[in-house]
Structure 1
Amino acid sequence: MTVKPFGVQIIQGLQHWAILQQQQGFGTINLSGTWSSLTDVIADQACIYARVVKEDGSGAVIPWMRCAMGDADTWSMSMKGIPTGGLYRIETCLRLDEQQPMELATRGDMVHHLAVGDIWVIGGQSNATGYGRGAVYDPPEMGVHLLRHNGKWDLATHPFNESTQSVQMLNGEPVNPGHSPYLAFAKLIKSETGTPIGLLQTALGGSPLERWNPGEIGDLYRNMMDVIQSSGGKVKGMLWYQGCSDCDTLNAPTYYDRFASMVDHWRKDMENDELPVLTVQLNRYAGYADGEEGNRCWGKVREAQRLAAMQIKHVYVVPSLDSPLSDIIHNSPAGNLLIGGRLARAALAELYGKLVSHRAPNVIKAELGSRTSEGNQTVVLEFENVTGELFAIGPGESVFAIDDEKGLEAIAHWRIVNNNQVELILPRPIEGDAVVHGAYEANPTAFPILDTGTHMPMLAFYGVKII
């Protein structure tokens, strides 16, 4: 026998596990639905009430509030001033008249495990999707939630981009994905700030920049905007990890301009001129075997990522060259924990007001130095963002190269001087205009110089002019 629903039904509003984007520390919940009673009731005496309570049992955040009654047994409610935090539960009830005690009111629908916090959007290709293989301890945590492919909020657990019952197959992966860097990112922010974090996974393995740029193909951009709208339309920022599919002679030279255009479109369409974008500079491609022209393309994309963080406001970058791999191109779970932590520290420092060292060593000058006692010409590189001192884990590694009118020349001998400088000892004199590259190849060393203060490696660079 089918029992007819009675009491209060929530037809429109938040899902279980949803994260609501806070605005100036508070959130607003809009609900609407229908109601019915098992007994005859005078319609103009019936009232719907709703409240928000803490799920830890410590009481109400928003006390019982009377909802607006509409035509044909409908109701609606807007609850404002819900503080950042959670987890919360929404409760509703039907009060048949004003004399009825609230404890004896007719049942109503509830929504569980809600929070008010910050929503971050994940975009890019496979290392943003998460393809880490192997075991690592990275458990879920209440207050870190994920909008899954099926359009429903859930506790965030790996793999993020699996497509069971998907309603967004445009970014469905062709194989089962694995471990992602962004659970670690979200948990560290929540730990340091107490802010619940929601994640929207819109990345797709192998996707080139043109699919994210509305000025080009833009289909994944439109898919991303649909997902954002489905979660309420407001987000804290973007988590972007992409570029491998643009490391070719056609796309690498224009990567910076197209990335800048994409960010500009995002900010206009999200009505936020200061929308933060946290990026990851490309890691190594261990299976690369396509020659020097391709190496230069990888260098140009990494340089574009470095320059974007220097020249576009509210764009930030973290290095990944020291991250271990699961295969020839995908970061391992251990590497993802490393990258997620770096991104979180960048967000904590730049967006949450925490005093955290988060910037990687970054070359700011390359100039001719004095000759060695053997008569070799030198070039001195100066780095910013060195909180300790530069340190060479692999002092014999091939990290740097010069490029002049005579061609490309790898630097076999170099040394660290004055804490934040590297002296390159050139095998021959420079001829004409010259530039210097650092860890620019598709598969550069995994042991570039690092800062002993943060233990982050330098950002790779390409084409820095020698003065």
Structure 2
Amino acid sequence: MYGITLMSRPSDWEIIQQKEGKGSVFLNGKFSVHPAALEVGVERVIPLVRVMSEDDNMAVIPWTNADHFTYNENFQGEFDVTLDIPAGGPYRIDTGLETKSSTPDLTWVYRGDCVLHIGVGNLFIIAGQSNSAGYSRDFCLDPPSMDVHLYRNRSKWDIASHPMNENTYAETCANEEMGVSGVSPYLAFGKKYAQISNMPVGLVQTSLGGSPMARWNPENGDLYQNMIDKIHETGDRCAGILWYQGCSDTDPEPAKKYFEHFYSFVMAVRKELGYQVPFFTMQLNRQINGMNDDCWGMVRDAQARAAREIPGVSVLTTSNLSLCDDIHNTAHANVALGEKLAKQCAFVLNGLEEYQPPEVIKVERVNEDEKEKFQLEGNRIWLKLTCVHVKNCFLLYSTAGKDSGFTLTDSKGNVEILHIRGNRENKNHLYLELAREVEDEAELSFAWQADPIKHPPVDEVTFLPLLSFYKSHINLTINKEFRLDVK
């Protein structure tokens, strides 16, 4: 073969992780002059490389000499070059061999190998279980886009499309699904984040339906090792890890240790990669007729705690997403979740508008002046919940206490909640009317059961539900104020 033959190169469809708006690409190859040129006579040769926009065939980086090259008396040799390519794409990398003939004024650029459909943008690792792998069996409009590429289980880059966790040509791998997967949240995520960041997105699929935290154990978990291997295969750096998991840990023992196991997982990944990779997590949605309510509450609480206590960990709520069966999000819900996640990534990674779920940070008794100001019945017992990350106010689908999603218990048992209120004048607060006094130390929970409230309070702007929590202690102080004991 004459011209340029590439030996080391990016793969077609590959996304290179950008840093400060550029991505570094290394090319190595060999070259040989066409026999016809040798017959005429050759004075010198130079390996060339350029980067072209596939949208309009304009040069992004014009023909550039290789950084290093050597050749013999027959003008056969090797070369290498490193390119700093600006964020964007899709790009084509061309190579060519400039050959100057010994005949005056005769120069020709011979053919070379090409790299097609590459981009410089942001890589995200998809990890977790079925709602991460994509198990929506129904339909929605979510077509492929040239802005979003996928590193498939066959260890090949491709344009991203559903289903993402399919195993064609992949032989046996750790995250091979037994069944047929469906619509994932992450194609919609990739398209939305590419639009926001003006850079392409690369997705690396490592999830597996039904996988417990034990299989992501850094010491011996096969899914953990598979994920690490995929990260190394795709360049060692990524913009973030997208984690949606926990249903398989809603049994007593793993639920109690969920925070501990997740913390170890995050720390091990960061140690292996050598940088503080961000984690974007989701609180569990629900299981219709699910068991072990307490365990679902413990896992959701651990997921909220992780976002508070582990730097670089974010969380989204999912309790208002619809289901296509007893436990898996619908296709439309997954598209909505993906777009919400893109907005959160834009906030965390790009410093754009805040996009976080509302969270209760304090609980206290409502005083008489506040009752009058906000027209709360004066002879009733009211608690005020102070929240953060509220854009405008809460949207309440019902003011009935049974629909509030909150449960309150003390030494006498359950404290009935009669009503829930919110208003625009005091946007960061929710008010709970109680049927009786709280006698002593109490515990407040929200949206904790396997199948919690269907229509939780949501932020009126973001439509993100309030963050779930479980058995947070409320202590009665001398000044009659309750405070939420945030673990």
The count of corresponding residues between Structure 1 and Structure 2 is: 456
Structure 1 distance, partners of 2:112, 2:461, is 56
What displacement does 1:168 show?
A: 6.2
Where 1:96 maps in the other structure, the secondary structure is strand
Q: Which residue of 1 aligns with 2:312?
A: 314
Q: Which residue of 2 aligns with 1:304?
A: 302
**C-alpha contact 1:366 1:465 (8 A) present in aligned 2:** no
Q: Which residue of 1 aligns with 2:361?
A: 364
After TM superposition, the structure 1 = structure 2 runs for residues 182-193 of structure 1, keeping only pairs within 5 Å, are 182-193=186-197
What is the root-mean-square deviation of aligned Cα atoms in Å? 2.4
After TM superposition, the structure 1 = structure 2 runs for residues 441-452 of structure 1, keeping only pairs within 5 Å, are 441-452=449-460
After TM superposition, the structure 1 = structure 2 runs for residues 174-185 of structure 1, keeping only pairs within 5 Å, are 174-185=178-189
After TM superposition, the structure 1 = structure 2 runs for residues 29-428 of structure 1, keeping only pairs within 5 Å, are 29-39=25-35, 41=38, 45-67=44-66, 68-70=68-70, 73-97=76-100, 104-166=108-170, 169-215=173-219, 217-273=220-276, 275-288=277-290, 290=291, 294-354=292-352, 356-369=353-366, 377-396=381-400, 397-409=403-415, 411-416=417-422, 418-428=426-436
**C-alpha contact 1:366 1:436 (8 A) present in aligned 2:** no
Deviations 1:50-105 (A, max 9, x none): 21111123522222223333578452322332111111111112233367989842
- CA, structure 1 residues 449+174, in 2 after alignment: closer, same or farther (shift >3 Å)? same
Where 2:275 maps in the other structure, the secondary structure is coil
Q: Which moved more, 1:413-422 or 1:394-403?
A: 413-422
What displacement does 1:410 show?
A: 5.4
Aligned partner of 1:252: which letter? A
Structure 2 distance, partners of 1:152, 1:179, is 20
Aligned partner of 1:416: which letter? G
What displacement does 1:221 show?
A: 1.3
**C-alpha contact 2:9 2:115 (8 A) present in aligned 1:** no
**C-alpha contact 2:42 2:101 (8 A) present in aligned 1:** no
- CA, structure 1 residues 264+98, in 2 after alignment: closer, same or farther (shift >3 Å)? farther
Q: Which moved more, 1:159-168 or 1:34-43?
A: 34-43
What displacement does 1:431 show?
A: 3.7
Aligned partner of 1:234: which letter? R
What displacement does 1:264 show?
A: 1.3
- CA, structure 1 residues 311+102, in 2 after alignment: closer, same or farther (shift >3 Å)? farther
Structure 2 distance, partners of 1:373, 1:13, is 72
Where 2:314 maps in the other structure, the secondary structure is strand
**C-alpha contact 2:444 2:471 (8 A) present in aligned 1:** yes
**C-alpha contact 2:101 2:107 (8 A) present in aligned 1:** no
**C-alpha contact 1:394 1:448 (8 A) present in aligned 2:** no
Aligned partner of 2:204: which letter? L
Q: Which moved more, 1:194-203 or 1:377-386?
A: 377-386
Which one has the largest radius of gyration? Answer: 2
TM-score normalised by structure 1 residue count: 0.91
- CA, structure 1 residues 369+201, in 2 after alignment: closer, same or farther (shift >3 Å)? same
- CA, structure 1 residues 321+330, in 2 after alignment: closer, same or farther (shift >3 Å)? same
Q: Which residue of 2 aligns with 1:22?
A: 18
Deviations 1:214-233 (A, max 9, x none): 14x32211111111111111
- CA, structure 1 residues 373+63, in 2 after alignment: closer, same or farther (shift >3 Å)? closer
Structure 1 distance, partners of 2:6, 2:457, is 57
Deviations 1:291-329 (A, max 9, x none): xxx111111111111121122222111111111111111
- CA, structure 1 residues 259+80, in 2 after alignment: closer, same or farther (shift >3 Å)? same
**C-alpha contact 1:399 1:411 (8 A) present in aligned 2:** no
What displacement does 1:197 show?
A: 0.7
Please state if 1:433 is matched with 2:441: yes
Ranges in structure 1 where 5+ consecutive residues have no aligned partner = none
What displacement does 1:166 show?
A: 1.0
Deviations 1:396-449 (A, max 9, x none): 315111132234455353333533322223334334321100111010012011
**C-alpha contact 1:27 1:116 (8 A) present in aligned 2:** yes
Deviations 1:11-58 (A, max 9, x none): 221111110111111111111223334417489934322211111235
Ranges in structure 2 where 5+ consecutive residues have no aligned partner = 369-375, 475-481, 483-487
